[in-house]
Structure formats: C-alpha cells, structure tokens
Structure 1
Amino acid sequence: MTITDREQPTYAAGWYVDTTVPGTERWYDGTTWTDRVRPAAPQIQPQSATAAKRRWYKRKALVIPVAVIGGIVVVSGIAGALGGERNNDVAAPRIASQAPVEEAPAVLVDVPNVVGMTGSDAQTTLSALGFRVDFGNGDPTMPVTAQDVAAGEQAEEGSTVQLTLQEKPNLTVAQDSAIRSAKSYLSFMGFSRAGLIEQLTSQYGEGYEAADAEFAVATLEQTGQVVWNEEALQSAQSYLKISGFSRQGLFDQLTSQYGGQFTPEQANYALDGVGL
C-alpha cells in the first residue's frame, strides 16, 4: 500500500505504526513512506522502579486483609445464623416459685400500771418491756394520770403506749422556793410528811406560809419524788447509828410528835426493814 504525498508527515526516519494496516509498522526514510513493513512490536507499559521492586506480598497487602475480613464476616454470619437457630430452640428460663414467707407470731406482753409514776419513770418501765412510749409535749417530771392500755392487759411488743401527764402548774416564787427547800431536806435525812411541813413552816426552820409548804409537799407526792415508807426506813437507820433501840423504843421514837411523826404503818415498815 502506498501513502500519498499529501499524507506524508515531516518527521525523522524510522519505524512507525502503519495506521492503514493494524498490527504492522512501516519504514519512513525521512521524506517518503517506503514499502518496507514489519509486524508491530508488542507494547509494554513502563513500570516505575519502586513498583518493579515491590514484592508479591507487598503488592497484595490490600488484597490479603480484605480477604481475611471477608472471611471473618462470612464466619460471623454463619455463627450468628446457627446461634439464632439454637436460641430459638431454647425455651425461656423458668423462675422458681418462692414459698410465701411466714411472719413470726406477735409477742404479747402484759402492760404494767404506770399511773402515778413520773413520765420519766413510766418511760423507763415500759421501755424495759419492749414498749414505745408517747406522752406528747408533757413534762416528764410530772406524774402519769392515764394510760391508753389498761394495766394488766396485753399489748404487742414494740407497740406504743400513750400516756397522759399532769400539766405542770404555773408556780409562784414562794411555791417554787418551798419545793426546792423540801427536796433539799429530803436529800439530807428522812422526814415524815408532818415533820417536813413543820420544818418548812417553823420560825426556826424555813418560815414558809403553811399553804406554800403544803403545796410543795403535795407536788413532791404527785410527782413521785417522795415515798414516806422509805423516808421512815431512812430515819430508823439514822436513829440506830446514834444509839441502840428496841423495837418498841424505836417505834415510839418514829411515831412521837416530838420525834419522827411517822404513821404507825410507816414505822412498822421501817422496823421490819432494819430487822427489829
């Protein structure tokens, strides 16, 4: 095949691809295309030096992890499917039924009589038996006048016993002083009721008005701060420390208007207490 002059290029002599016959090359002598042809040499894509030196495992660095990850995903999917099948076959766990807890039977306790005791003493007595005590805003030094659970009845241990306390009176200065004086005498020695009032009203004693002395003694009685039998016993013990006495002699001393002024019942309680 001949190439016309109009198609002749103007470049250096050499072998060039013959576009008219695919797969061949034609010789160009620098001015004219000749009849010399040859098969075209295979075209090899040039490689960079770095790519040529890269080892096979480096070239496959991305392929291997991708393959591994793909394998993991497949295995995980299979395991999940098998696990799902197993889970569907397993019945829901049964919760063991619990037997109802039996409550311990209530413990019933006899309620004592605390009327007449001070609020503090009543609370101590009832608390020792396992009761709770409530007397509201009452003064614990005042006596108990009522209890909501009668003496002798039974109440559940831990329950609350409501107490009513006597209201604390508004005292005059003289009444308050007489009460404090009476307490002071009783802490010093044993007194009968008559003997204590005499000591409070005597011109050689405190010189209180009879009404104030009576009020002071009555207050101590109501609040449980004096027990006349115990006062008689204390007085008998004091006499025996001073001198020896027969039963009759000590009885006379305790009951005499010039002595202790105790009642016969109080004197006999004291004599029994000292062993006469």
Structure 2
Amino acid sequence: MTVSSDGACAITAAERANMINVQPPPYSPPPVAHEKAIKPWFKKKRIIIPAAALALIVIGGAAGAANKPASTPEAAPAAAGSNSAQNADAATAIEVPDTIGKTAKEAAALLENAGLEVDFSAESGVVLDRDNWTVLRTAPAAGEKAKDGDTVVVSVEKTAKPEAEPVEQAEAEPEEAAQDDAPSLAHANALGSAVMYLDSMPFSRAGLIDQLTSEYGEAYPKDVAEWAVDKVGADWNAEAAEAAQMYLDTMSLSKDRLYDQLTSEYGSQFTAEQAKFGLKAVGY
C-alpha cells in the first residue's frame, strides 16, 4: 500500500491479488454453556404430551358433534305450548248455570250469557214459544264444567196452563134486558121528548133530565129519563156554548154572572168544565 502526495492510500496490484486469495478460517460453533444445555426428550414430553392430548380431545369432540343428530328446537316450545293449552283450558272452563224450573227463554238467556250454546229437547212438541216451556234438566248438569262454545242440551216440558175460571154471567134485570133488546114505549117516548127539547133550546144533561121528570114537564120516571138523555147523544160542551150566547143575546152579563147562570141549579146546571167551555166560546 502506498501513500500519495495528497495523503490518500493506494492499493497495489500485488496487494489486491493477495486479498482475493485469502480464505476465511473454518467455522466452529461457539461453546454452549452447561446451564443452557438441551433438556432430554422425556422432560419435553411433559409439555408435548398434554398439548397433543388436548388436540385429540378437541378433534374428537368436533367429530362427535358432527355425528350427533341435530336436536329438535320445537321440543321446548312444544312443552311450553302444552302448558299454555292446559292453562287456557282451565281459564275457559265454564260452570253450567242452574236453570231447572225456569222457562226455556230464561234458561237460554243464562246459558248464552255464560258463553254456551243451547239445544232444546222435548219429548213431544216443538219449542217455539219459549215462555211456554219449563226446564227439567240439562246435560251437562248444573255446576259441571264446560268449555266456551260447548252445547248444553236442555230438556223441557210444556208448561201447564191454568184452568180458566168459569165466567159468571150476571143475570140481567128484566127491565134492562128489555131496554137492550127493544125499548119500551115509555123509553121511546122519553127519547123523542129529549130530542124535541134539544131542538128547541140548549140544555145540560141535568137540566134535560129535570125537564123530562118534572111534574110540570113530562113526568117520566127518572130511570127512563136518564136512559133517554144518555141515548140522545148530545154534545154538552156545545150546548153550554149555545146557552151562554142565548143569555148574552137577552141580557148583558159579566163573566162571573154568566158563569153563575150556566152552573146554578136554578139556571142551566152545566158542569164547571162545560161552563168554562161556554164562556170561552162567547169570548170570555
């Protein structure tokens, strides 16, 4: 190796050739310390064997899971559904009402309100008018349990009708019977007199009876006079209005005086209601 004037090192050709031909020393591994010596194989098995066993357990479990038939997920819900159905049946259980002795109509109302269907059974006849049938028994019987919508068979019998009491016919009075069948001559004449008086002037019922029975009038018996007056068919309100106008046509009367004249026993003898009708008719 030479040094140039500028201080740089230069390698000659001979030195370069020697450097190429130089061989590295043979490799020898470094000495191993005694405390780090490799453990014998049987000590390694403490770790290797448990790890291998664990791997076999995992593999075996996977294979068993693959071979095991799939569990049915419906099993648990089915059991739950069974319990729910039992609870629902218990909740919908209905106690059959007691309807013995009631009418078919009353029994049907009780059973249908409880959520049950009704089927009537009669030994004879058809259950049409339910008020005329009486309940003898039911199936299921009263107090037994049934489900909502179940049919209860109701055995009924026709209700016995009470015997009609004989109608007592009152014996008619001979005179009344004669009047109904055909009026007597006295009745016919009294009726003719009543019509004549009403055609001539206004009368109240009481005033016309007095006219027919008075010894200064027609002198008919009172019962005959009453029969004739009732048969004449007069409108007593209209008679009161005509009497009020007749009084005002002949004299000037106040409302009170006219009322007294219409109702007085010495006057026309109209009732209070008839007299008020007459007053209103003439403008009072």
TM (normalized to structure 1)? Answer: 0.37
Greater Cα radius of gyration, structure 1 or 2 = 2
Higher helix share: 2
TM (normalized to structure 2)? Answer: 0.36
